[in-house]
Amino acid sequence: MRRLAFYLRDRRLLIAGSAALAVLSAAFGLAPFLLVYAAIGLMLERPEYEGASTVALLGGAAVAAILLKTWTMIGSHNLAHRTAYELLYDLRLELARKLGRLPLGYFQKRDTGQLKHTMHEQVERIEEGVAHLIPDFAASIAVPLVAYAAMFAIDWRLALAASAAAPLLFFMYRTVQRKMNGYRHRYGEAQARLSSALLRYVHGMKVIKAFARSEHAYGQFAEAVKESERMTTGLHLRSLPLKSATVILSRAPLLLVLPLGTFLYVRSELTLATLVFFMLVTMGIGKPLLKLMGTGGMVSFRIAAAVREVGELLDEEELQEPENPKLPEGCSIRMDRVSLGYGDRKVLSDVCLTVPEGKLTALVGPSGAGKSTVAKLIARFWDVDEGGVTIGGADVREMTSEVRMAKLSFVLQDEFLFEESIMENIRKGREEATDAEVIAAAEQAGCHDFIMQLPRQYDTVVGGHGGTLSGGQRQLIAIARAIVKDAPIVILDEATAFVDPENEGRLRDALSALMRGKDGRGKTMLMIAHRLSSIVHADQIVVMSEGTVRAAGTHAELLEDCELYRNMWQAYNTSPAIGTRSGERASRSTVQTPPRRASETEPSDEDAFALDSNELTLGRSPVALWKAIKRLAAGSFPQFLGSLRCAALESPFIATAPLSAALAFYGLWTENLTLAWSGIGLLVASLVGQGVLFYLGHRHALRLEGEIRVRLRTQLGVHLRRLPLGFYDKYPASTVESRMRMDAHNSALFHTIAISSVRGLLVALLVSGLLLALDWRLACIALAGVPLSLAVTAAADRKFAALLDSQDEPRKEANRRITEYIRGVPLIRAFGLKSAQLRPFMKAMEEYRDRSIAFNRKLAGYIALDGVAFELGFAAVLAAGAGLYAQGAVEPLTLSLVLLLTLGLYEPLPLLELAGFRRLLQRALRNLREIFGAPPLREPAADEEELPQDGAIALKRVGFSYGERQILQGVTLHIPERQVTALVGPSGSGKTTLLNLIARFWDVEQGSVAIGGADVRQMRSDTLMSQLSMVFQDVYLFNDTLMNNIRFGRPDATDEQVYAAARAACCDSFIRELPQGYDTMAGEGGGNLSGGERQRIAIARALLKDAPILLLDEATASMDPDNELLVTRALQELALGKTVVMIAHRLHTIRNADRIVVMDQGRVADVGAHEELMGRNELYRRFWNERLRAETRTWNEHTHNLPIKEHIQS
């Protein structure tokens, strides 16, 4: 909160200027009322038209006052919006910098959706406070204050009566605000959960499709949507009584003034001119009072929630920069009695470790032992709880982040690529690197060849998180990035986990070269690896287990002295190959699981409704609008008609307010007191009726709008899961989330347009009829403001549409950059990219700021003109009426009555606001049409689908591409049932794509894919997925309990069945050691777990599903040897009687496969058993030779391996 106050204080002159101009605008807006008071006084004093010229001058003065109001309104608007968007820009930059200073543990508590909600939506809401609430509040307060000052100067008794309602209004406002304060925190949390749920649903779509468990994922998504809407609708319903009472009480000044004024006039203590002035002013201040107490209350509530959430993030405890920084002397690393915990979970305990300068140190141990945490502590991603970490003798807490990160190059276990070109992604390692240096690094890392095969080569933009690149390709690019940086300390966290055998040998060569810098000095290298063959030649191997160091030494020393390492080495070398060719074909026969009909598993949601993209078209004609409304309202259309009826019935009561005042005035002028008191009674009845109908109509409306938003979002959720995964390459998660949240929200605006239009039109017609009955000439003059307002609205509407289009891309880019920045924080920290990565972020925010300021500046004139168009008509009535009065063509009474009724004509007809709402609705429907218009994977009707007869898989002449990039070409392949088929080949050869096509995550472009003789396109998705269990290369876990993540494989599984699957996947023991056990939250994407732990959870999920076909994509890549041995045995057991298709870069795991398919450049190069391929296929033989060379490669060949015996402190 203090930070926000600072930003506001820094702009106090601009804010004060905006508020002052708003107050002046309000004061000029009151001038016509004073001039009418003076004109009526003249007409009463000089009934024989002697004061006509003076009345005409007063009309001219009214026009001048209105023009001054316009100028000051434009100035206030421009200042306020410029201040607001500059503030938003600074806030977002400060929040981005803040994220770069927070410990990574913070991101385990708040996921991307929550942080994005804070940085984008909540910061955007602060704009309402600065650009609207401050100047509007200033004006809304100034109007009554100026009016009351004028009233007290004229007659203190009536002024006192007019102000009597203010304390009651204030009391009601404070009472309701206190009640709503209790919901503020819950409201903010519900909105953040909605953003999280939307992003989680999109990011996890591959898992959702693979397991066809929409009753879980879709159900959780739908519940978050409904919970958010319940909270939003509930808040509005709680504030509805206040709004309804305010509608009545906003007329209370008139209601109190009119009877008192009548009483005083009858007693000859008041002139009729004075009473008319009070009647006009009390009607004129009703609108600002309504705005202040009604809209202002709800807006201030939302702003308070936004300010609190933004303030909490800014006040989070961060990693402090040292006041007296130290410089490291050398590049050795030392950890001294280090302990660290994530909440209740102890991760490291009393770790003592030395990494000698210029040497290769390897960290090995079971998954979850704390290896990655050690690497991240060196970079100070967290601060230790106890002990210390030093680089070159300097504590990392006493080094500046720039100095510290300049020493380090990282290749993280969870690699992240920004949505930029490959050239720029590699250049992240060193910003000033030339193109030649980037290409040289790519050649060293072994990724140059596949990059040159891409359509745009190094200029190819990779999608979010790496897009369509394979896991191995992304890892090679990450390694090239580290090579470019050329830092003296290199930290590799499973750097070769997803690299194919051929490139692994090349990569070892590159990393060996990386051991020496350009200056010829040896580098300090810390390498975390589960492939023990890759570290046998390390200068030092450190063995970790359960968060502490168990032993350290060379490979030979540890084999002799460390039982844990010896067991790991034995497990690594004896890890069985998955397959049945070795003679252990299953004696048991697994019965084919009968495929489930889609009708049995199709999620049903009573709120989902079929929606065609063609129906989301909003034409210009009333008929087109009506059709769109009927389709959106769907089953709630009767409620919509009910709210329309309330609006129609409310209109006569709104029109009756000025009519009752005119009736009372007429009675007093003609000395008919009965008529005067009848007018007062009519006013009371009209206000009560208006308040009741306002409440009933809006109660219908709020519920209807909530139902529409829920329907749209849940139907979007249904549609999204039917789309091919290629859709998510075209539409980033941030864009889809924005469509589901903002556009679905704005689609409910049709109700606001319809209600306001009906109410405003009917009131205008009723008042126009009364004016025509009084004097058709003055009525026509009064209506002259209508064509002016229509012209302004038409011009503004065209401008608004053009400006919305120009702002659309900057808004989407800002949204995308915010999401990308949050997800990329670990990489930004690892490479010290705070300033470098802030630049594209800043550029996107600058563009969004500048377009937003320009948007509001260019609309300001239209808004101001629209606001005064009707008021100019009011002044024209006064001026023209004076002319007619001078000629004796109109009676003073008639002119006075026309002036009173004209106020009722203009107030309820906000044409420009309605036009803006319509454009927002049109845009929202257009954006939703993009999503709903995306062609889904077509499915046959339940009674027409083909069912598989067995577990065999056949691909015939399959072709497929990602955009311009051809991935598979003419692939024909038969995969026999109940056998193990392995896919091998270079990274990017199409192996993962082939699995994705079997699962029908995409549709083939040519050819066909069939399971058991049934084309997958002729099977319904749930039928298909009931046949498949999958373990992906990129493991995704939902931010739910570990129990529920495993149970995702089979929702009806008992707890004991979940435990059995976890034991088979070797994750039961580490789960039970967690403080909350199986109730531990996995974090976003599984971020609370190590890579190996996540992979084991994913395998448990697949084991639990127990489908007849098993697809494995690098299923054990991130596992330690012990667990890999056990999990491989579990998979071997699971494979019995099943069709298994597996991808593996660890060739020893597939040597016993029944069939090995060699893929190269999107084609099947060969098929056969291991011995056959070794004899005839050069590519396969080269894989094994490169693998052997990599395993026997000495990393640091320029030095001898020196025995190192570290003293391990207990």
CATH number for the domain running over 2-316+609-932: 1.20.1560.10
Pairwise CA distance, residues 52 & 57, whole Å: 9
Predicted pLDDT at 1008 = 93
> Who's near 571: CB < 8 A, 6+ residues apart?
1121, 1122, 1124, 1125
Fold match between domain 2-316+609-932 and domain 324-407+539-571: no
DSSP SS3 for 452: helix
Pairwise CA distance, residues 328 & 330, whole Å: 6
Number of Cβ within 10 Å of residue 141's Cβ equals: 18
The DSSP 8-state label assigned to residue 635 in this structure reads: G
Q: Which among 716, 701, 715 is positioned nearest to 748, based on CA atoms?
A: 701
Block means of pLDDT (10 residues each) for the chain, 1210 residues, are 61 78 80 74 64 69 81 83 83 82 72 74 75 70 76 88 77 68 67 74 75 66 81 77 75 84 88 82 69 57 71 79 85 90 80 89 84 85 88 88 82 74 85 88 82 84 65 78 85 69 62 64 82 81 89 89 85 64 43 44 41 49 59 67 80 81 85 87 86 83 81 82 75 74 74 73 83 86 77 76 74 78 74 65 82 79 71 76 76 80 65 68 77 80 84 92 82 91 83 88 90 89 83 78 87 89 84 85 76 81 86 70 67 77 78 87 89 86 73 48 34
Query: Domain 324-407+539-571 - what CATH class?
Result: alpha beta
The DSSP 8-state label assigned to residue 1121 in this structure reads: H
Predicted pLDDT at 608 = 39
CB 1 within 8 A of CB 303: no
Structure-token pair, residue 1026? 């009931």
Q: Rounded to two decimals, what is the model's pTM?
A: 0.65
Q: Which among 962, 1151, 1130 is positioned nearest to 1031, based on CA atoms?
A: 1130
If you count DSSP H runs as helices and E runs as strands, how many of each does the chain have, helices first? 47, 20
Number of Cβ within 10 Å of residue 1188's Cβ equals: 14
∠ Cα 1072 1077 1081 (to 5°):
135
CATH number for the domain running over 950-1027+1145-1191: 3.40.50.300
Predicted pLDDT at 541 = 92
Report the chain's C-alpha Rg in angstroms: 37
Question: Can you spell out the DSSP letters for 1037-1052?
Answer: --SSBHHHHHHTT-TT
Pairwise CA distance, residues 496 & 531, whole Å: 9
CA dihedral for 382, 383, 386, 390, sign (positive or negative): positive
User: Pairing state of beta strands 1139-1143 and 953-962?
Assistant: unpaired
**CA–CA distance from 346 to each of 265, 342, 1101, 1208 (Å)?**
84, 6, 26, 20
Pairwise CA distance, residues 558 & 577, whole Å: 26
Question: Can you spell out the DSSP letters for 55-68?
Answer: HHHHHHHHHHHHHH
User: Pairing state of beta strands 1139-1143 and 1109-1113?
Assistant: parallel
Q: Which among 289, 435, 17, 456 is positioned nearest to 907, based on CA atoms?
A: 289
Predicted pLDDT at 294 = 53
Structure-token pair, residue 935? 């062609």
Pairwise CA distance, residues 317 & 307, whole Å: 18
Q: Which among 694, 830, 73, 819 is positioned nearest to 378, based on CA atoms?
A: 830
CA dihedral for 9, 14, 17, 21, sign (positive or negative): negative
Structure-token pair, residue 186? 């819950």
Pairwise CA distance, residues 1093 & 1067, whole Å: 7
Task: Return the residue matching tokens 């529920």.
Answer: 1044
Q: Which among 1011, 990, 960 is positioned nearest to 1165, based on CA atoms?
A: 990
Structure-token pair, residue 566? 């010896």
Q: Which among 542, 555, 488 is positioned nearest to 515, based on CA atoms?
A: 488
∠ Cα 611 617 623 (to 5°):
110
Pairwise CA distance, residues 665 & 677, whole Å: 10
- The DSSP bridge partners found for residue 386 are 339
Predicted pLDDT at 1134 = 67
Pairwise CA distance, residues 209 & 217, whole Å: 10
Burial 90-121 (b: 16+ CB within 10 A, else e): ebbebbbebbbbbbbbbbbebbbbbbbbbbbb
DSSP SS3 for 408: strand
Domain ranges within the chain, ordered by starting residue: 2-316+609-932, 324-407+539-571, 413-486+489-522, 950-1027+1145-1191
CATH number for the domain running over 413-486+489-522: 3.40.50.300
Question: Can you spell out the DSSP letters for 148-160?
Answer: HHHHHHH-HHHHH
Predicted pLDDT at 1143 = 85
Predicted pLDDT at 1210 = 30
Q: Which among 1040, 1027, 1048 is positioned nearest to 1101, based on CA atoms?
A: 1048
Pairwise CA distance, residues 850 & 1093, whole Å: 46
Pairwise CA distance, residues 982 & 1115, whole Å: 12
Number of Cβ within 10 Å of residue 1165's Cβ equals: 17
Pairwise CA distance, residues 548 & 499, whole Å: 29
Q: Which among 698, 594, 18, 657 is positioned nearest to 298, based on CA atoms?
A: 698
Number of Cβ within 10 Å of residue 457's Cβ equals: 14
Structure-token pair, residue 300? 């201030």
Name the H helices within 250-295.
Answer: 252-266, 272-284, 286-290
CB 952 within 8 A of CB 1012: yes
